[in-house]
Amino acid sequence: MCGIYGYIGEFKLDFSGFLLDGLSKLEYRGYDSAGIAVLSNDKVKVVKEVGEIKKLKERLKGKIIAGDAGIGHTRWATHGGVVKRNSHPHTDCSGRLTVVHNGIIENFEKLKKSLIKKGHKFRSETDTEVFIHLVEEKFTKKGISFREAVRLSFNEITGLNAVVVLSPDREIVAFRKGSLLVAGLGKKGNYISSDIPALISKTRKIVLIDDGQGIILSKNKMFLINPKDGKLKKATFKEIKMEEVIDNKGNYKHFLLKEIHEQPEVILRVATNNEREVRKAAKMIKDAWGTYFTACGTAAHAGLAATYMFSEIAKRHVNFTVASEFTYFEDFLTPKSLLIVASQSGETMDALEAVRAAKRHKSKILALVNVPSSSLSRMADYTMLLKAGPERAVLSTKAYMAKLSLFLLFAFTITGKYKKGVSLLKSASIKVREMLADGLEKDIKKLAKRIIDKRHIYIIGRGVNYATALEGALKIKEASYIHAEGFAGGELKHGVIALVEKGTPCIVIVAEDRAKEAVLSNAAEMKTRGAYIIGISPKRSSVFDYWIPTPDVKQLSPLVSVIPMQLLAYHLAVLKGRNPDKPRNLAKSVTVK
């Protein structure tokens, strides 16, 4: 999963800086390494560096590269370690052809073997480098035209991929299957990018490249290519109405903390400006013959929570499966089924693959997405925007809050109680704002200092807060790299309690609901084994060694009980000197399977 950015147009003195600015808008897609290739006086200059784009910018200080065409890449490593030789762009043996890639070339080993037999020398362990040697084999050795060499090579690889190749003859040729690529019509040149938001500050004239299609860019022309026969057709663009997203942290040190503090506003926004859309979505769920929910990571935990909300509030069963497992369940889908897919980015490949599976069975797709004009929003039958605002920290917080709030509203609306849902959300928004303003962070900072050296943290919840326990554990793992695990409270005694020893921090999520007594007993069971009990609860309990008070919002308890754990993850990360916005090995959205 990576970010790709390219431009071909007028000569620029600081072409390298221009490329890196565009690329920086795609760093949420991976920050293991970054690199650019710039065509300057018929020579291709390739510069790459391990780490974030700012490392490459530092390296290019005082050494800018001029040129009029170039491609860039920010990497989330899948094949080959995080070292410079595995960073993109990759070149062929001559060093004249360069490629950047997003996806996984599943048959790369077989192709690599035959290319080595033909004398090709490989410099990296990546699957990507195979592609540029395939092109070289056709272009240089067999005298096939550059664009045909790229097309034929693309037809030879398997998997979900987007490849962008820069030719010394001032052309950029690209193909995509699964992984997103868009092009942009500029005033003095043309752009290629992994997503639309990265282009909006340059142009709103966007060419959507269909799945399985290719494109040729030159300074003032753009043609779409049919990969099957190489036929060309003029590229037509769509005027995209999208506000450019200006990222700033405001008075916060990190995006993560800013986005945690934006959650009261997000709950209110869901409650107050979606009525027509909420009613339409609720009707889709009501009319469906079997509703299935799927998503990845944090979005998946919102889905699990939804299954409890629908059962308790709407007396309705909703099935839940994580998206990466969904295709193994597709067989029972029918045209009457409804698949609800939630994704902050709308680009997560496992979620898109689940949609493709549901489409194979002609099922309906309802998408909950935070990024307008993302792949998921274009594939779904009906899309509801989360309107959580741009989420920049890799850890998802406010988009999670928007999903929970929407599911609650769906559940109330299905039973004709839309207005009740709205008023409960409005009061929860006020209570969350008070909780955040009322010294919660001071408590959490103190707790973080107390457990900073612990290697394991366990979190339990019952009912809907089992999902909250999973989400809390994920936040702590993602940000602080401390091993944290969420359990259904009742599952403890069936094995996991063996992990508890003297001083083991155990967070217990307690709401004023029918699971209260049972989860407090589970806490007592852990305390008996020496656990240090941290209670997240409206009321203090004698079993708690550390109490984090939360407002009593009854069925909406997941909205408040997750926040102390979001803040704990943040402060543990800061205390450990980690980057809370860009944790190691992660990316904001993963576009590979």
Active site residues: 2, 588
Q: Could you give the string, one character per residue 499-538, with x where binding to ligand BG6 holds by CB under 6 A and - elsewhere?
A: ----------------------------------------
Site for ligand BG6 in 324-343 (CB under 6 A): 343
Task: List the structure tokens of 485.
Answer: 């695990």
Query: Minimal distance in Å, beta carbon 233 to ligand BG6?
Result: 32
Residue found by looking up tokens 């943290």 in the block: 457
Q: What percent helix, strand, coil does the chain show, rounded to 5? A: 40, 25, 35
Q: Given the complex with ligand BG6, which of 49 and 471 has the nearer CB atom?
A: 471
Residue found by looking up tokens 């839940």 in the block: 320
CA atoms of 221 and 235, how far apart (whole Å): 9
CA atoms of 58 and 414, how far apart (whole Å): 55
Task: List the structure tokens of 292.
Answer: 């299935």
Q: Given the complex with ligand BG6, which of 111 and 270 has the nearer CB atom?
A: 270
Residue found by looking up tokens 């084999």 in the block: 137
Task: List the structure tokens of 308.
Answer: 């409890």
Q: What SS3 class is residue 257? A: helix
CA atoms of 521 and 516, how far apart (whole Å): 9
Q: Given the complex with ligand BG6, which of 314 and 569 has the nearer CB atom?
A: 569
Query: Minimal distance in Å, beta carbon 295 to ligand BG6?
Result: 6
Q: Is 102 in the site for ligand BG6 (CB under 6 A)?
A: no
Q: Is 363 in the site for ligand BG6 (CB under 6 A)?
A: no
Query: Minimal distance in Å, beta carbon 415 to ligand BG6?
Result: 28
Q: Is 268 in the site for ligand BG6 (CB under 6 A)?
A: no
Q: Cis peptide before 89, with omega less than 30 degrees from 0?
A: yes
CA atoms of 97 and 75, how far apart (whole Å): 19
The DSSP 8-state label assigned to residue 115 in this structure reads H
Residue with the CB atom nearest ligand BG6 in the bound state? 297
Q: Could you give the string, one character per residue 277-296, with x where binding to ligand BG6 holds by CB under 6 A and - elsewhere?
A: -------------------x
Query: Minimal distance in Å, beta carbon 299 to ligand BG6?
Result: 4
Query: Minimal distance in Å, beta carbon 431 to ligand BG6?
Result: 25
Task: List the structure tokens of 296.
Answer: 């990845």
> In the set 351, 422, 464, 573, which binds ligand BG6 (CB under 6 A)?
351
Q: Given the complex with ligand BG6, which of 191 and 400 has the nearer CB atom?
A: 400
The DSSP 8-state label assigned to residue 209 in this structure reads P
> In the set 345, 468, 537, 561, which binds ligand BG6 (CB under 6 A)?
345
Site for ligand BG6 in 148-167 (CB under 6 A): none
The DSSP 8-state label assigned to residue 204 in this structure reads S
Task: List the structure tokens of 475.
Answer: 């936040």
CA atoms of 179 and 160, how far apart (whole Å): 6
The DSSP 8-state label assigned to residue 36 in this structure reads E
CA atoms of 494 and 428, how far apart (whole Å): 35
Q: Given the complex with ligand BG6, which of 126 and 589 has the nearer CB atom?
A: 589
Q: Is 497 in the site for ligand BG6 (CB under 6 A)?
A: no
> In the set 128, 294, 348, 561, which binds ligand BG6 (CB under 6 A)?
348
Query: Minimal distance in Å, beta carbon 25 to ligand BG6?
Result: 16
CA atoms of 399 and 384, how far apart (whole Å): 13
Q: What SS3 class is residue 405? A: helix
One-letter amino acid of 476: I
> In the set 153, 298, 324, 337, which binds ligand BG6 (CB under 6 A)?
298
Q: Is 297 in the site for ligand BG6 (CB under 6 A)?
A: yes
Q: Given the complex with ligand BG6, which of 76 and 146 has the nearer CB atom?
A: 76
In DSSP terms, 239 is beta-bridged to 205
> In the set 208, 299, 333, 424, which binds ligand BG6 (CB under 6 A)?
299
199, 179 contact by CB (below 8 A): no
Site for ligand BG6 in 390-449 (CB under 6 A): 394-396
Nearest alpha-carbon partner for 339 in 327, 355, 325, 353: 355
> In the set 194, 344, 465, 468, which binds ligand BG6 (CB under 6 A)?
344
Residue 525's CB is within 10 A of a number of other CB atoms, namely 18
545, 501 contact by CB (below 8 A): no
The span of 120-128, 244-252, 345-353, 458-466 binding ligand BG6 (CB under 6 A) equals 345-353
Three-state DSSP string of 170-196: CEEEEEEECCCCEEEECCCEEEEECCC
CA atoms of 350 and 564, how far apart (whole Å): 29
Q: Given the complex with ligand BG6, which of 157 and 304 has the nearer CB atom?
A: 304
- Number of residues assigned to the chain: 593
Q: Given the complex with ligand BG6, which of 128 and 589 has the nearer CB atom?
A: 589
Q: Could you give the string, one character per residue 548-587, with x where binding to ligand BG6 holds by CB under 6 A and - elsewhere?
A: --------------------------------------xx
One-letter amino acid of 63: K
What is the C-alpha end-to-end distance of the chain, expressed in Å? 9
Task: List the structure tokens of 206.
Answer: 């966007």
Q: Is 590 in the site for ligand BG6 (CB under 6 A)?
A: yes
Count of residues binding ligand BG6 (CB under 6 A)? 17
Q: Is 589 in the site for ligand BG6 (CB under 6 A)?
A: yes
Query: Minimal distance in Å, beta carbon 195 to ligand BG6?
Result: 12
Residues in contact with ligand BG6 by the rule CB under 6 A: 296-299, 343-345, 348, 351, 394-396, 586-590
